[in-house]
Amino acid sequence: MMQPGGLGDAQHVTVDIQKICDTMKSKAEQRTCKKYGVFVAKLYKVQVVAGTNYFIKVHVGGDDYVHICVLQTLPRQGQGPEFVSIKEHMKKDDEILPF
């Protein structure tokens, strides 16, 4: 069992994770001042905090990847996923780490 605050193992993307990515694409583009023709989640890790942080490896075209962090607050807070941060210039084999 994962410790609260610990980062879980990399997992294959589910439909729900891709949906989260789809909703975060415009926020990622705003933060990086770029337009992504491709924005496909490849792997993700989960960190349980006061809610859940999703660290998602996203293919953005060619050999380029970004890692995004998305916070899903606890259900009682009634909010959808929130864009937290992005790491640019990542590659396919780069490990997903908290940032």
Please report, for the domain that includes residue 82, its CATH number.
3.10.450
Q: What is the mean pLDDT of the chain?
A: 91
In-domain check, residue 4? no
**Using CA atoms, how far apart are residues 71 and 10, in angstroms rounded to an integer?**
17
What pLDDT, in 10s, does the model give residues 13-49? 999 999 999 999 999 999 999 999 999 999 999 998 8
In-domain check, residue 97? no
Q: Domain containing 72: what range?
A: 11-90
- Please give the tally of structural domains in the chain: 1
Cβ burial of 41 (10 Å; 0-12, 13-18, 19+) is buried
Tell me the average pLDDT across 75-98: 90
**DSSP E strand boundaries for 1-99:** 11-12, 40-49, 51-61, 64-72, 82-90
In-domain check, residue 99? no
Q: Would you call 25 helix, strand, or coil by DSSP?
A: helix
In-domain check, residue 6? no
Q: Which residue has the tokens 């490990």?
A: 95
In-domain check, residue 44? yes
